[in-house]
Amino acid sequence: MHALLLFLYLLLAWTEGAKAMDPTMPFMVFLDQDHLVCLKWGFDDQYGTITFQLTVNTTGWVGFGLSPNGGMKGADIVIGGLGPSGEYFKDLHATGYSMPVEDEEQSYTLLSVHENEEQTIMTFERSIQACDKNDFHITDHPINVIYAYGTIDEISYHGQRRGVKQLNLLNYMPRTHPNNPRYLSATVESVMVPATKTYYHCKLMAFPQLNTAHHIYQIVPVIDNPDIVHHMLLYSCPVYVTELHEGQCYMGDPGDACFGVVASWGVGGQAFEFPENVGFRIGGEERDTLYRLEIHYSNPQEKTGIKDSSGLRLYYTTDLREHDVGILFTGVLAMEGMQYNIPPNTSQFHTYGVCSTAHFSQLVNPVPDLQVFAVLLHTHLAGRKVRVGHFRDGQQIDFLGLDENYDFEMQHIASLGHIKTIKQGDEIAVECTYNTTNRTEATKLGLATTDEMCLAFLFYYPAINITTCISHPDTEGIASNGPDYDEIPDHSEIDDYETYLKTLPQIQTVIDNNLTTVVSTNGTIREMMEMFTVTCEKSSASSRRCTSWMVNLTGISILQVLASII
């Protein structure tokens, strides 16, 4: 009896474990149509490593490779499994349609290999960059992933048990194709875009009433005038905003209070789809919520007569996913009365916005751990780099987002290589680096494209009712707003000014989706850590596992094994 209970318990635990998402490997695809070969993976762009888990319905050998053209020639291959004499694993490469050769440098590290009655589960790791000439350099472009396997551990010709799939490993997005896709349309209709360099247009809208909760799983931009539509944001409104309105944004209308980000798109971005386990909740009890679509038109040539009908399509489903998505707005944004200018003629001026999640408990209780899976970074024309630091107990533990080559024309929601957990009390700091060498006047924080802002939208689950957590330095009561900009400041003045702004107390503002606001005046900007320099030295994992047993594959006809992966 007890044994049976224990067995059931173990079985349950095992099934749960198999189903649960591994935060270090959030991506999953089947490489074949019959769902016999499953690849999970995740990566750490800080340490420059990528981890794979290949699960194949076989108890024989399994092979995985990265191939320039989908065939075997030039492919970077690993073969492994669990045989009668233990585990085996090798890094190989194919020079042509001849015997693949064992790499001199074994660049892959076996982390584990397990077998159950039907399956082999092999977990292994390598660096993202190629460490020797026989390794495939993994980039954020689609590449050909190949696989093959046998029914026994003795490596022999695999017959039809092989295939290829194109995957973008570092920039993966699921694509579901439901039978009858339904979407909500959040668009403007024939807006006359004024002949001004910057124009923010806002439209408050109600969606067709959905009486039960639905999940938005995909956001597709509909861009009418690609040359002037710069970014779009869809916000939800607090319950007391009930009147529809359309016109220029931030003119003191009730809709200015709508600040719960639902969806975002920046120039250069594509359609975005949430991971399979999450969706953005819409309808149900919140069916009367109004939404505000904000479109930033950037019209530097001040063209006249442009009519625009851009917007977003929100694909939704009644099949609720496991978690609701939340989007947290962090960084530094122009606020009334704020003095925060970026001096001209400086090639790397930093601004900071901090967010201490310790304040969340004043608005939401209890505060769950927030699992961050994607980030959208946003600055304007002078922005060159954005880093989002993650601090715990006063120490930086990670980056939640990082773009060392920020490109204003290429903004997109970037999926993180693994899920990062924000715990109650953690701090977030958004740092932007600006280059104003080309400017002769100070750049202020503001809404225009020629003004600046420094934002990180963190996509996480489970959703909490907090929309915004931003900060700015407490410059009030300070006579001078930094260097005198009548003349272009010299470098030591600029450095002093940057340091001065950084050491001032930071005023933090945390806002919930009912617009209740908590302000605290004791925020601190902490030092951010240096970036890791990714090297090709064997990862720490390999030193953890120096005992892995390697099969001697020499002399086995690997040619036959892989020859027909074409």
Ligand X SMILES: *[C@@H]1O[C@H](CO)[C@@H](O)[C@H](O)[C@H]1NC(C)=O
Q: What's the min distance (Å) between Cβ of 344 and ligand X?
A: 8
Indicate whether 348 belongs to the interface with ligand X (CB under 6 A).
Answer: yes
Interface with ligand X, residue 520, by CB under 6 A:
yes
DSSP code per residue over 309-368: --EEEEEEESS--SEE-EEEEEEE---TT---EEPSS-S-EEEEEEEEGGGGGGTSSSPP
Q: Does 151 bind ligand X (CB under 6 A)?
A: no
- Rounded CA gap, 279 and 457, in Å? 16
Beta strand 27-30 with 37-44: parallel, antiparallel or unpaired? antiparallel
How far apart are alpha carbons 216 and 481 in whole angstroms? 45
Q: Is 146 helix (H, G, I), strand (E, B) or coil?
A: strand
> Between residues 67 and 351, which has the closer beta carbon with respect to ligand X?
351
Chosen residue from 105, 118, 484, 495 binding ligand X by CB under 6 A: 118
Question: By CB under 6 A, is residue 522 in contact with ligand X?
Answer: yes
Nearer to ligand X, 395 or 438 (CB): 438
Q: Give the range of 87-95, 212-220, 498-506, 550-558 binding ligand X by CB under 6 A.
A: 550-558
Does residue 504 bind ligand X (CB under 6 A)?
A: no
Q: Is 361 among the residues that bind ligand X (CB under 6 A)?
A: no
Least distance to ligand X, CB of residue 505, Å: 9
Q: Please, which residues have CB within 8 angstroms of residue 71's CB and are 6 or more apart in sequence?
A: 565, 566
Q: Which amino acid would we find at residue 556? A: I
Is 362 among the residues that bind ligand X (CB under 6 A)? Answer: no
* Secondary structure (3-state) at 15: helix
Nearest approach in angstroms of CB 72 to ligand X is 22
Residues in 460-479 at the binding interface with ligand X, rule: CB under 6 A: 464-465
Q: Could you tell me the smallest distance in angstroms from the CB atom of residue 317 to ligand X?
A: 20
Decide if residue 168 touches ligand X (CB under 6 A).
no
Environment class of 393 (CB within 10 Å of its CB; exposed 0-12, middle 13-18, buried 19+): exposed
Tell me how far the alpha carbon of residue 253 is from its chain's centroid. Answer: 33
- In whole angstroms, give the CA distance from residue 232 to residue 220: 11
Residue number, 140 or 286, with CB nearest to ligand X: 286
Beta strand 414-422 with 86-93: parallel, antiparallel or unpaired?
A: unpaired
For residue 288, the minimal CB distance to ligand X (Å) is 11
Q: Which of 514, 518, 526, 541 binds ligand X (CB under 6 A)?
A: 514
By the rule CB under 6 A, 396 interacts with ligand X: no
Are the C-beta atoms of residues 259 and 468 closer than 8 Å to each other?
yes
Determine whether 497 is an active site residue. no
Q: Which of 24, 29, 46, 119 binds ligand X (CB under 6 A)?
A: 119
Amino acid identity at 355: C
Q: What is the closest distance, in whole angstroms, from the C-beta atom of residue 36 to ligand X in the complex? A: 5
What is the number of other CB atoms lying within 10 angstroms of the CB of residue 384?
A: 18
Smallest gap from residue 379 Cβ to ligand X (A) = 14
- Cβ nearer to ligand X, comparing 440 with 533: 440
SS3 558: helix
Least CB distance to ligand X at residue 16 (A): 14
Residue numbers 10-49 binding ligand X by CB under 6 A: 34-36
Cβ atoms of 290 and 206 within 8 Å: the answer is: yes
Q: In a 3-state reduction of DSSP, which class is residue 498? A: helix
225 neighbors 232 (Cβ within 8 angstroms): no
Catalytic residue chosen out of the listed positions 47, 157, 200, 500:
200
* Helix/strand number for the chain, H first, E second: 4, 37
Tokens linked to 376: 């959208």
Q: How many residues does the chain have?
A: 566
Element (H, E) at 341: strand 341-342
Q: Which of 447, 488, 536, 566 binds ligand X (CB under 6 A)?
A: 488
Task: Assess 499 for contact with ligand X (CB under 6 A).
Answer: no
Angle at the Cα of 531 from the Cα atoms of 528 and 535, rounded to 5 degrees: 160
Q: Measured from the CB atom, is 44 or 102 closer to ligand X?
A: 102
| 339 near ligand X, rule: CB under 6 A | no
Binding part of the chain for ligand X, among 130-138, 142-150, 259-267, 512-520 by CB under 6 A, reads 512-520
Phi, psi of 285 (to 5 degrees): -60, -25
What lies within 8 Å, CB to CB, of 371 at 6+ separation is 23, 323, 419, 420, 421, 460, 461, 462
Helix, strand, coil % (nearest 5) of the chain? 10, 45, 50
Q: Does 503 bind ligand X (CB under 6 A)?
A: no
Kindly state the number of chain residues that form the binding site for ligand X, as judged by CB under 6 A: 27
Which residues 283-322 are close enough to bind ligand X by CB under 6 A? 285
Name the minimum Å distance from CB 286 to ligand X: 7
Q: Which two tokens stand for residue 110?
A: 């076996």
- Judge contact between 565 and 65, C-beta under 8 A: yes
384 binds ligand X (CB under 6 A): yes
> Is 217 annotated in the active site?
no
Among 24, 225, 339, 524, binds ligand X (CB under 6 A): 524
Tokens representing 475 are 């410059």
User: Does residue 424 touch ligand X according to CB under 6 A?
Assistant: no
Amino acid, single-letter form, for residue 425 = G
Strand, helix or coil at 561?
A: helix
The answer to whether 554 contacts ligand X (rule: CB under 6 A) is: yes
98 versus 248: smaller Cβ distance to ligand X: 98
Partnered with residue 56 across adjacent β-strands are 37, 120
Scanning 39-47, 162-170, 342-350, 412-420 for contacts with ligand X by CB under 6 A, the matching segment is 342-350
Q: Which of 201, 215, 231, 378 is catalytic?
A: 378
Position 139 contacts ligand X (CB under 6 A): no
> Rule CB under 6 A: is residue 354 a binding residue for ligand X?
no
User: Is residue 95 within the footprint of ligand X (CB under 6 A)?
Assistant: no
Which of 24, 57, 424, 481: binder of ligand X (CB under 6 A)? 57
Q: What is the binding site for ligand X (CB under 6 A)?
A: 34-36, 57, 118-119, 285, 345, 347-348, 358, 384, 435, 437-438, 440, 464-465, 488, 513-514, 520, 522, 524, 552, 554-555
Kindly list the catalytic residues. Answer: 200, 378
